[in-house]
Structure formats: structure tokens, C-alpha cells
Amino acid sequence: MRRELRGKYEKSILGFLWAFLGPLFQILIYSVVFTVVFHNNMPNYAMFLMAGMLPWTFFNDSVAQGTSIIINNAEMVKKIYFPREVLVISEVTAKLVNMLLSFIVMALFLVATRIGFSIQLVILPIAIIIEYLFILGLSLIVSSLTVYLRDLEYVINVALMAWIWGTPVMYTADGITNNLYRTLLLCNPMTAIINNYQSILYYHRWPTMWGLLIPFIESIVILIIGAVIFVKGKKRFAEEM
């Protein structure tokens, strides 16, 4: 994990500052687009956007880069024996650290906009753990399958571009009136995960019991499936590469 973090920032002038600046610029751009161009009247929309965008970026970057994590470490996989799962775990954990650093930026915005902090923050670690388990399971699946199906890396990148629009990151699910689209939102595991962050950080209300329990069960199921697929697939990683 330390190698992943150092490798990302070691040759940049600002180094780890990009962990703060990247999300900050992204939020500012989306805020301008959805408040100035599309005239969004939601109060403190930038904070709503940040509450959803930071966990989404954690998900998007982990899965996108997780597809090629085994392939990118082909020489190590072929020459050294070690639990291959370590590569995926380190990648996802490094992205988790990036998100936690980004939360520092959000904390400053919470103070600046006078939204402040609430008692609901005590449940934020649970929301983070649920998302981490879901991402880890999905990353185990895609990293293993991509070794055998190289096109999957490009398919996943396209899927992620579409996935964000099927997740209430830049809009609220309550504003969706189309029944088909609402059904798709409910079937999307990331919907409940993002809603939990928004409830805690933006609305200052407790996530519902089902809002935590259902994504937790889904995350455990995906993690188990991912572990099974990865264990079966890793036996021939060296041969395939």
C-alpha cells in the first residue's frame, strides 16, 4: 500500500497535496456546471456533491485500476510466491487512504459553509467499511477475470462512465419520477452506499436500518463471490501472463 501511494505522487511537485486538490477541483467544476449552467437550487449543493463524489471516486478509482493490478505486477507474480490477494487489498486500501485524506477537505468546507458536524458522524466508519468490502469484492472479481479476458479492462471503464449517472451522486433520487429509472436506482448497490454518506455528511440524519443492512449483506456476498473467483483464477495467473 505504501508503494502504491508513493508511486502515485513521488514524481509530482505537489506530492500528496494532490490527494486534496484533485477532489477539490472536481467538486468545484461540477458545482459550477450544476448551479450556474443548469441552475440547481439545492442549498449548499457543493457539500451535497462532495458527500457523494468522494466515496464515488474511491469506488471508481479502485475498480478501474483494480482491473489491471495483476497484469501490471506480472513480473512479480511470475517470479515470487506470495498471496496474490495482497495486490488487490493494497490497491483498494491505498484508494481508501486517498478518500480519508479528501475528507479533510470536506471537513474544512463543512466549517466554512456552517453546515458543521453532527452526532451522525459516529456511524460514518460503518458506511466506509460497507463500501470498502463491496469495492474489495468487486476488485477481486475484475482483477482476476481481466487476466483471462484483457478486453474486460476497457469494458469496465465504459461501464463506470455510465454507472455514475445511474447513481444519485449529482442528483437526489427523490427527484426521479420515471418508474423504470427509479427501479434501476434501487437495484444499484452503490445507491444505498452513496445515500448513507449523504445522510450522514449533508442531511445530518441517521441512515435507515435497511439502508445499512442491505448494502452490508450485498457487500459480504460480493466479497465471498470475489474471493472464490480469485482463488480459482490465481492458480493460472503466471501461465496466462
- The answer to whether 201 touches 208, Cβ cutoff 8 Å, is no
Tally of structural domains, the chain: 1
Over residues 70-83, mean pLDDT: 83
- Percent of the chain residues topping a pLDDT of 70: 86
CA 226 – CA 159 distance, rounded (Å) = 18
Over residues 61-77, mean pLDDT: 88
Residues 165, 23, 44, 124, CA torsion sign? positive
pLDDT at 46: 80
Q: For residue 154, what are the domain limits?
A: 2-240
* Nearest residue to 55 (alpha-carbon basis) of 115, 123, 147, 134: 134
Over residues 156-183, mean pLDDT: 86
pLDDT at 13: 54
Selected residue with higher pLDDT from 12 and 85: 85
**pLDDT interval class at 130 (50, 70, 90):** very high
**pLDDT interval class at 8 (50, 70, 90):** low
